[in-house]
């Protein structure tokens, strides 16, 4: 079966958190791999024909979730001329606008794609740079209850926060969360989408112990080689245990926000962020593209950004941007994890023997880009190691179970395998990837040879 082909519609699926607190499942306990594309403006920027093109493309690339905003901007209509709210009032949602939201959510679910819906832009809760603040605890509860009830039968997760710190608006967000829980009959999972602030990048800094927060989300932001594995590791250690996801990592083709030359993120950068996060203990990952989240079409007025903001200005039509290298290689991220019991992986740097390669351009907080990230199955059946620059690596084989170890290289650019050989499980072994360089990333997979794990997908679960 092709990677992107859905096995069944998702309408009616109820997402849960596994009792371990580390990953998502459906209502039957089957693990759900969260791999999201970010299309924040999908409800306002696409007609139904374009929606079909977009969803089919994302399905074929292995994505399982689409992240989108319900309410972002009070004065910008959708392509059908409809505003989200009547008179800017959260207690009077515009039925015509939400009929289109219904269509998008239902069609995504029908194809096997879940939706992660941001309830509202943070500016509507606490004004920082606009004049569009509209929420208070009472109408936030009403709006949350409306959304939860309307989509209670859909495969959705909810994200509050809207790219802002909570500031004095914490009670507003908590009230909206309670409304969502009541409206959905407590059947939907939710989190909080904060800003790309490297001091407090995760929802855990504000709401970890709130009963409505089912999982944490991180915005590691749009800086070159930001060490998102550190943010994931922070959340991974918290009690109570909750899943965490870097749901807004470096956007492909987004200028480096910390670089005056505005160099743009490439496919290697977005792959690096994905593997770093997943092997550090994340329950999934969020991919994004600067041209896709805005669904940029130069023949239409840019929805959010224009040329006065060169740090975020898109430069590629969304039809072409859908096939950027980073987007194409997300399917190989998913393939690797689906071929093994990924939900049993735990981060484990102790499999690395001695000092690992830390070369290349220096990143945030002094880290080097060539950071080696490792994870091991809880039962010791296999180990996965990500090497951003293809640097040599030494491994403690005794961290694996089994007398004989099968060793493989996995190419994250095309999803192909290269067999290394079989080794006696004894001592330290050295491995050198087939190629090396600043964009020559490789994944090393070591496993108990008796498990005979497959190298290609035959079905999706």
DSSP string computed for 7-53: SS--TT---EE-TTSSSEE-TTS-EE-EEEEE-TTHHHH--HHHHHH
Q: Are residues 300 and 367 in the same domain?
A: no
Instruction: Say if 362 falls within a structural domain.
Output: yes
CA angle 101–103–106, rounded 5-degree value: 105
On whether the pTM is more than 0.85, the answer is: yes
Residue 8: predicted pLDDT: 62
Are 246 and 363 within one domain?
Answer: no
Same domain, 432 and 302: no
Tell me whether residue 80 is in a domain: yes
Residue 280 resides in a domain: yes
Which two tokens mark 11?
């309408």
In whole angstroms, give the CA distance from residue 341 to residue 25: 13
Q: Using CB atoms within 10 Å of the CB of residue 364, give its burial: 0 to 12 exposed, 13 to 18 middle, 19+ buried.
A: middle
pLDDT of residue 134: 97
Quick one: pLDDT at residue 399?
Answer: 94
| Domain-ending residue, one of 338, 366, 395 | 338
Q: Are residues 320 and 354 in the same domain?
A: no
Is the per-residue pLDDT at 367 higher than 60?
A: no
Does residue 368 sit within a domain? yes
CATH assignment at residue 360:
2.60.40
Residue 372 has pLDDT above 90, yes or no: yes
Same domain, 322 and 372: no
pLDDT in tens, 146-165: 999 999 999 999 999 999 99
Domain assignment of residue 415, given as a range: 344-451
| Residues 274 and 416 grouped into a single domain | no
Picking from 345, 421, 422, the residue whose alpha carbon sits closest to that of residue 385 is 345
The whole-angstrom separation of Cα 218 and Cα 105 is 24
Question: What is the rounded average pLDDT of the residues 236-263?
Answer: 90
Last residue of a domain, one of 285, 310, 338: 338
Q: Is residue 41 within 8 Å of residue 69, measured between CB atoms?
A: yes
95 belongs to a structural domain: yes
> Are residues 240 and 289 part of one domain?
yes
Q: Are both 191 and 300 inside the same structural domain?
A: yes
Q: Average the pLDDT over 217-231 and give the result.
A: 95
Which pLDDT tens digit goes with each residue over 65-100?
999 999 999 999 999 999 999 999 999 999 999 999
Identify the residue whose tokens are 């990924």.
342
Q: Which residue intervals of 194-324 are DSSP H helices?
A: 204-207, 228-236, 267-279, 290-293, 318-321
Residues 6+ apart with CB under 8 A from 237: none
CA angle at 429 for the pair 271 and 348, rounded to the nearest 5° = 50
- Chain-wide mean pLDDT for the chain? 92
pLDDT recorded at residue 354: 77
Burial annotation 81-108 (CB, 10 A radius, 16+ → b, else e) = ebbbbeeeebeebbeebbebbeebbbeb
Confidence of residue 9 (pLDDT cuts 50, 70, 90): confident
Q: Are residues 273 and 411 in the same domain?
A: no
Confidence (pLDDT) at 3: 52
Domain assignment present for 3: no
Examine the pLDDT at 299 and tell me if it is beyond 80: yes
> Last residue of a domain, which of 338, 360, 389?
338
**Shared domain check, 245 and 121:** yes
Residue 5 maps to a domain? no
At residue 311, the pLDDT reads 61
pLDDT grade, residue 130 (50/70/90)? confident
pLDDT at position 461 is: 43
pLDDT at 459: 54
pLDDT for 127 equals 84
138: number of CA atoms within 13 Å, CB side?
2
Is it the case that residue 460 has pLDDT exceeding 70? no
Token pair for residue 219? 């915005």
For residue 355, the SS3 value is: coil
**312-366 pLDDT, tens per residue?**
788 999 999 999 999 999 999 999 999 999 999 999 999 999 766 444 344 443 4
**283 and 361 fall within a common domain:** no
Residue 67 makes CB contacts below 8 A (sequence gap 6+) with 36, 37, 38, 39, 40, 115, 116, 117, 118, 159, 247, 286
pLDDT value of position 11 = 73
| Residue 368 reports pLDDT greater than 80 | no
**How does residue 260 score in pLDDT terms, banded at 50, 70 and 90?**
low
Q: Is 260 exposed, middle or buried (0-12, 13-18, 19+ CB in 10 A)?
A: exposed
Are 231 and 318 found together in one domain? yes
CB-count exposure of residue 427 (10 Å: 0-12, 13-18, 19+): exposed
Q: 396-425 pLDDT, tens per residue?
A: 999 999 999 999 999 999 999 999 999 999
The CATH number that applies at residue 205 is 3.20.20.80
Are residues 283 and 321 in contact, defined by beta-carbon separation less than 8 angstroms? Answer: no
CA atoms of 184 and 33, how far apart (whole Å): 23
Domain count, the chain: 2
Query: What is the spatial distance between Cα 189 and Cα 245, in angstroms, rounded to a whole number?
Result: 13
Could you tell me if residue 397 is inside a domain? yes
């Amino acid at each position: 079966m092709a990677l992107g082909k859905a096995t069944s519609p998702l309408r009616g699926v109820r997402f849960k958190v596994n009792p371990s607190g580390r990953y998502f499942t459906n209502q039957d306990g089957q693990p759900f791999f969260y791999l999201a594309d970010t299309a924040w403006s999908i409800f306002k920027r696409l007609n139904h024909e374009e929606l079909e093109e977009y969803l089919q493309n994302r399905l074929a690339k292995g994505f399982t979730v689409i992240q989108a905003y319900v309410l972002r901007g009070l004065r910008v209509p959708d392509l059908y001329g409809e505003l989200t709210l009547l008179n800017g009032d959260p207690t009077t949602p515009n039925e015509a606008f939400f009929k289109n939201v219904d269509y998008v959510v239902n069609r995504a679910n029908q194809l096997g794609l879940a939706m992660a819906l941001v309830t509202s832009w943070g500016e509507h809760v606490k004004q920082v740079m606009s004049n569009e603040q509209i929420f208070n605890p009472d109408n936030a509860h009403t709006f949350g209850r409306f959304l939860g009830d309307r989509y209670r039968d859909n495969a959705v997760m909810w994200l509050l926060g809207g790219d802002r710190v909570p500031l004095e608006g914490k009670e507003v967000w908590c009230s909206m969360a309670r409304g969502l829980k009541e409206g959905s009959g407590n059947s939907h999972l939710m989190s909080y989408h904060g800003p790309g602030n490297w001091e407090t990048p995760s929802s855990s800094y504000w709401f970890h112990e709130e009963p409505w927060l089912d999982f944490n989300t991180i915005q590691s932001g749009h800086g070159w080689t930001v060490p998102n594995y550190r943010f994931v590791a922070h959340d991974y250690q918290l009690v109570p245990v909750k899943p965490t996801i870097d749901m807004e990592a470096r956007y492909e083709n987004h200028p480096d926000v910390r670089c005056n030359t505005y160099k743009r993120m490439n496919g290697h950068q977005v792959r690096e962020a994905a593997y770093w996060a997943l092997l550090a203990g994340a329950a999934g990952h969020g991919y994004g593209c600067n041209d896709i989240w805005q669904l940029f079409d130069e023949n239409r007025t840019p929805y959010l950004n224009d040329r006065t903001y060169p740090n975020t200005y898109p430069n590629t039509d969304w039809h072409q941007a859908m096939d950027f290298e980073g987007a194409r290689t997300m399917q190989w991220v998913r393939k690797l994890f689906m071929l093994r019991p990924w939900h049993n992986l735990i981060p484990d740097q102790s499999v690395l023997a001695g000092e690992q390669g830390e070369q290349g351009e220096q990143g945030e907080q002094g880290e080097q880009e060539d950071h080696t990230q490792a994870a091991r199955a809880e039962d010791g059946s296999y180990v996965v190691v990500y090497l951003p620059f293809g640097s040599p690596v030494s491994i403690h084989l005794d961290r694996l179970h089994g007398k004989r170890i099968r060793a493989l290289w996995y190419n994250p650019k095309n999803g192909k395998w290269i067999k290394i050989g079989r080794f006696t499980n004894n001592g330290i072994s050295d491995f050198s990837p087939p190629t090396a360089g600043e964009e020559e990333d490789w994944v090393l997979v070591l496993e108990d040879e008796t498990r005979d794990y497959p190298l290609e997908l035959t079905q999706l679960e």
